[in-house]
Chains A and B, each alone.
Chain A
Amino acid sequence: MLQKSKKNPVSAMAMTAFALLLALAPVATSVYTVHVISVAMISYLCVLSVYVLLGLCGQNSFAQAGLWGVGAYLAGNILLKTGGGTLTAFVVAIAGTALLAFVLGFAFFRLKQYYFTFASIGLMTILNGVFMNWEPFSGGAVGMKNIPTFTFFGWQATTEQSKFYIVLVVCIVATVLIGLLFRSSLGRAFMAIRDNEMTADSMGINSLLTKSIAFAISGALCGAAGALHASLSGYLSYQSFTYNQSTIYLIMIMIGGTISPAGALIGTCVITILQEGFRSLQDYMQLIYGVGVILLMIFQPEGILGGGKALYERICERRKKAKAGSR
């Protein structure tokens, strides 16, 4: 059938293999490494949110870390103040962040092209200010302490390993859902807006509404990441949810490539390995990112994934030619 033709069988297979490998990590490595991977997977969710917004819909936002914070504080409030369980915290964090993003998107996307990006920088600054100063909601500068860990029907995730698997499951579910989105008519409407907004209009796509939905979906991913972060670390500080963090998410997707969720995965891995492997060079990290991104944009604007894909296609073509030649 026409519509069932698969877009990226190679990258889907590679990601499945990677998820399986990752599932073995707690057996093979130290508790510290397991924690680092859990934190990286939470970053991956935020980078995936950038993929939806930038990679699919062509809209660039610097506010993702702010939305991540909204999700985290919402979950924290549910767990600490209302006595709600993990599932309630999850649902509220995802729905609340998505709703906030949708409403803000509906206002912001009246601005065209990069003016939305400017507005998102403003939003990030405001959100960070809110986290720092709105004490009843966020605990202000002191932050939020002693957030309980994941609890499902009386079972508590106390070890790093069990928390790891919870984060992994959420990541896999999110990736599968985004994969389905890519193949849906909504996903194609996102791509139509990305490639040419005038065409999208002429194809009956309400671009304001559609872009707001894209922002809401990215908000839902950030909200999920926030809820995971709250229970994983047990402590929330406004210093986590900064403009700089949003920039790192963008760098991650630029390094990985915006063409598929695999790009988000590759970018997250590369930056996490850099951060962990070169802790002694921490002061120079910003510089390394800066130079790295500039070089990447010059030599491989589609990121590592784009470069890999081009290479793969070249090899396939060469093979085809060799076959044709041997006949």
Chain B
Amino acid sequence: MNAFANAEKKPKLVLVDVCKNFGGVTAAQDIQLEIYSGEVVGLIGPNGAGKTTLINLITGVYPVSRGKILFDGREITHQPTYKRALEGIGRTFQHPHLLDRCDVLTNGITGSDMAARKRGIQKVDLAKELPRLLACAGLEGINLSDPVSKLAYGQQKLLEVVRVLLSQPQILLLDEPAAGLNNREAEYVSALIQYATEKGIGVLLIEHSMELVMSVCDRITVLNFGTQIATGTPEQIQSNPEVIRAYLGGGDSDAEN
């Protein structure tokens, strides 16, 4: 998706001057973010930059200290987490949060259950969609009646993405979906992201694997110490001196000269 297309459409999710302080620590400082349907926005930055905090602010796990969050033009800043989820904001967690004591199938059904709870959305045809998504995630071989605790770590993370996709979100927040995954499993992550964008879902991707970020993202925004230091296309970000400084460290004078 290019900039001209964006200009005609309204963004699905907008963050306006979002700030978050934990005591004296600033985890988010005047964050501006727009996510359009069908695009992938990368959110990168060193550890502790406030990336996961931003997801928790968007989903309402933490209340914002200042600023506004708009979904479809409506303000959702003070809505509880479950209502935002019903609006259409789906997320995954850095460590897989599945129904540990249930089997694979039940975990899948909980995703389509959620779609059924939303107003005005047709329940997905699970019998058709689940096998399709599982194949997309490289999980077609697993036994649906196995407890999820039997799955490997990477498979659990992929299954979590499958579940959230079954819930038919409009915005999908992925928190390091490829962390801890091998190269093949990471390819399934990009396949699932492609599946999401084809369905018109706007994706916010937090990820440390630059290979994945640079290959799937339309735009990238970089956080450091809670501040947005750059936003742009993958090419612009790769050549941005401030980003290089944040990642590689080094004094100001070194980088400027």
Contact = CB atoms under 8 A, between A and B. Distances in A.
B102 A202 contact: no
Interface stretch (B3-11, B109-117, B181-189): B109-117
Contacts of A3: 109, 126-127
Interface in B99-133: 99-103, 105-106, 109-111, 113-114, 116-118, 126-127, 130
A191 B101 CA distance: 8
A194 B145 CA distance: 19
Given A3-B126, A201-B81, A201-B85, A195 B111 contact: no
B97 A204 contact: no
Nearest to A198: B97
A254 interface: no
Contacts of B1: none
A203 interface: yes
Nearest to A6: B145
Contacts of A7: 103
A201 B99 contact: no
B81 to A, nearest CB: 4
Contact of A198 (B61, B101, B105, B113): B61
Interface string A225-262: 00000000000000000000000000000000001000
B231 interface: no
A202 B81 contact: yes
A146 interface: no
Chain B interface size, as a band, is 20 to 34
B102 A191 contact: yes
Contacts of A189: 110, 113
B98 to A, nearest CB: 7
B148 to A, nearest CB: 9
Contacts of A207: 82
Interface in A172-208: 185, 188-189, 191-192, 194-196, 198-207
A100 to B, nearest CB: 25
A201 B113 contact: no
Interface in A258-285: 259
B212 interface: no
A245 B130 CA distance: 46
Contact of A188 (B59, B109, B118, B144): B109
B116 A185 contact: yes
B191 to A, nearest CB: 22
B167 interface: yes
A196 B97 contact: yes
A10 interface: no
Given A199-B97, A204-B85, 15 more contacts: A2-B127, A3-B109, A5-B144, A188-B106, A189-B113, A191-B101, A192-B110, A195-B101, A196-B100, A199-B98, A200-B82, A202-B93, A204-B114, A204-B118, A205-B82
15 contacts: A2-B144, A5-B105, A188-B110, A188-B113, A191-B102, A192-B99, A196-B98, A196-B99, A201-B82, A202-B59, A202-B81, A203-B110, A204-B82, A204-B83, A259-B101
Interface of A: 1-3, 5, 7, 185, 188-189, 191-192, 194-196, 198-207, 259
Interface of B: 59, 61, 80-83, 85-86, 90-91, 93, 97-103, 105-106, 109-111, 113-114, 116-118, 126-127, 130, 144-145, 167
